Structure 1
Amino acid sequence: MNGFLSPHEYFRRHGGRPKKRLGQHFLTQPRTAEKIVAAAHLSPDDVVVEIGPGLGILTAHLLPLCPRLHLVELDTGLADYVEEALRHRGHGARVHRIDVLRFDWTRVAKESGRRLVLVGNLPYQITSPLMFQLLEHRRAIHHGVFMVQKEVGRRLAASPGSKDYGVLSVLLSLYGRVKALFAVAPGQFYPPPKVDSLVIRIDFPESEADLGGVDFFMLRRLVNAAFQKRRKTLANSLAGFHGLCAESLRAALRMVGIDPALRAEVLTPKDFAHLARFLAQGEA
């Protein structure tokens, strides 16, 4: 497999088994790996970060394309294995032995002199916290191609009014663009997960949409509050937000053209941005 061992061969030689606590499901199909890397549309000047190289099935396709490659791997045994494979190939890729949720995207982008391109087969349990982290560091990231749990991928790309629409749907729509690319069946992994996967691409435009200077963290708090009780009306789910009493909240919603009797799932991302800006300006 392009100089890297298959999962079966690796565990036969080294013993052990995939670690459930790390969400390890190793892609086994080189053609799918090739499609994932191709979807990133890489150029030789790109600075690429692979999240969780594992046994190197994506790495093998990245190495010929990426003179500047960073690999973020938490599993020390796999990090040792990948570093040894890189030495044999004479490639200068850097392996970061760290939890990706602690990786400093902005620092690496500044050191590299350009925004980053991300690629990875994401452990299901870290997908949502990672997306929030990437949103915070979005100015350091050009785009990313990720394999995620299919249900999670649908939520990231969901539109208002759908049952999948939620906090990340809103924020990613405002600050980026999400596109679903293709599904991957469980049988393409070792061990096979219980659900289908979805490959998605997320772009973070250098020139963001004009949100009127609304603060990202203020907006995130607002959207979180609205969706925490998604079956309740906005008048109830946002009760007490920003220190507003019930009457002031209803007045604020009406001032920005939002019916207080609506639920969060029907508001557009721009509705949330407009409300956040209005509240931050203290006009309520």
Structure 2
Amino acid sequence: MPETSAPRLLGPAEVRELAARLDVRPTKQRGQNFVIDANTVRRIVRESGVAEGEVVLEVGPGLGSLTLALLEVGAEVTAVEIDPVLAAELPATIATFAPHQAERFRVVLADALSVTEIPGPPPQALVANLPYNVSVPVLLHLMALLPSLEHGLVMVQAEVADRLAAPPGSKTYGVPSAKAAWFADVRRAGAIGRNVFWPAPNVDSGLVAWTHREPPTDQVSREEVFAVIDAAFAHRRKALRGVLRTLAGGAEQAEAALRTAGIDPLTRGEALGIDEFVAIAVALHEAAAVPRGSA
């Protein structure tokens, strides 16, 4: 690193002192659980693979624990924070604990779930302790919004981590797994205990790492494929012929599209990967383009 003085990271005393001074009380509504262990944020940054000079998007920086660890490895950090009190304080915290890295930090007061642009240079990585109550929608929204993202690592509820990284056919495979696979190759990257947070959550946490992949098709839109995924898992124990009938315009049309896609109409959605969902969407799209009764 070019800086001669590394950032000081936040520990339990610093986190509680900052929270008390700001009169911040972590809320379940915003999924706020602040990391108080320096080794944990260093581990997150290490597992993320973020390199010196990379532009990193962080969501929900809170009091700045993970932010400081990202700055420590030489990253440039854009932090999106929904809480105006926390967002206003972050620059001062960075100036105090990482004065030599402060020029590589910017904060954006916004809701990551509805943000439409990220100021500054396009981020190459997403590293975040995501609010548990909106973790999947936020992750999918940012993957769709920012094609510049090449890789990332997020900390989420352990159960959600399992779902995001689940392969087709497994018990935890579902909508999050299938949709995330449109954007990236996803894997489970470890577990995080409850005692590294303040306040301690009632659930365990997991790390999910991902690497960007190009969209699996340009024949149909992402929205068309996601509509098939949503329909397939609306009644996950039912055969695709039945659950896709509304989308296809009838059970016979659904069966015809499935056969065109090379899929047994009695298959369940939980058995299919992203490429199979794409094939179904393409078949439905092509069938819709042919007028009824045409040869």
TM-score w.r.t. the length of structure 1 is 0.89
2 CA distance for matches of 1:271 and 1:204? Answer: 19
Structure 1 residue 67: Cα displacement = 5.5
* 3-state SS, counterpart of residue 180 of structure 1: strand
Task: Please tell me whether the aligned partners of residues 138 and 204 of structure 1 are also in contact (alpha carbons under 8 angstroms).
Answer: no
Corresponding residue pairs, total:
277
Q: Does 1:282 align with 2:268?
A: no
Q: Does 1:226 align with 2:232?
A: yes
Structure 1 residue 71: Cα displacement = 1.1
Q: Which amino acid aligns with 2:180?
A: L
2 CA distance for matches of 1:77 and 1:186? Answer: 25
TM-score w.r.t. the length of structure 2 is 0.86
2 CA distance for matches of 1:14 and 1:137? Answer: 32
Q: Which amino acid aligns with 1:63?
A: L
Structure 1 residue ranges (4+ consecutive) displaced by more than 6 angstroms after TM superposition? none
2 CA distance for matches of 1:14 and 1:138? Answer: 32
Greater Cα shift, 180-189 or 81-90:
81-90
Q: 1:174 to 1:193 in 2, by over 3 A?
A: same
* 3-state SS, counterpart of residue 136 of structure 1: helix
Task: Please tell me whether the aligned partners of residues 57 and 123 of structure 2 are also in contact (alpha carbons under 8 angstroms).
Answer: no
Task: Please tell me whether the aligned partners of residues 48 and 66 of structure 1 are also in contact (alpha carbons under 8 angstroms).
Answer: no
* 3-state SS, counterpart of residue 29 of structure 2: helix
Match of 1:98 among 110, 126, 129: 110
2 CA distance for matches of 1:172 and 1:12? Answer: 38
1 CA distance for matches of 2:161 and 2:262? Answer: 31
Q: 1:136 to 1:248 in 2, by over 3 A?
A: same
Structure 1 residue 40: Cα displacement = 2.2
| Identity %, equivalent residues | 34
Task: Please tell me whether the aligned partners of residues 186 and 208 of structure 2 are also in contact (alpha carbons under 8 angstroms).
Answer: yes
**Cα RMSD between the aligned structures?**
2.1
Listed one character per residue, the Cα deviations across residues 7-54 of structure 1 (whole Å, up to 9, x for unaligned) are 322234343421221111111111011010112222333111111111
Q: Does 1:254 align with 2:259?
A: yes
Q: 1:81 to 1:199 in 2, by over 3 A?
A: same
Aligned to 1:188: 196
2 CA distance for matches of 1:179 and 1:134? Answer: 18
1 CA distance for matches of 2:235 and 2:253? Answer: 20
Structure 1 residue 251: Cα displacement = 1.6
Match of 1:269 among 262, 270, 274: 274
Structure 1 residue 115: Cα displacement = 4.7
Q: Does 1:60 align with 2:55?
A: no
Task: Please tell me whether the aligned partners of residues 47 and 66 of structure 1 are also in contact (alpha carbons under 8 angstroms).
Answer: no
Aligned to 1:241: 247
Q: Does 1:215 align with 2:215?
A: no
Task: Please tell me whether the aligned partners of residues 6 and 55 of structure 1 are also in contact (alpha carbons under 8 angstroms).
Answer: no
Aligned to 1:141: 149
Residue correspondence of structure 1 range 145-184 to structure 2 within 5 A: 145-184=153-192
1 CA distance for matches of 2:160 and 2:282? Answer: 28
1 CA distance for matches of 2:138 and 2:233? Answer: 19
2 CA distance for matches of 1:66 and 1:228? Answer: 44
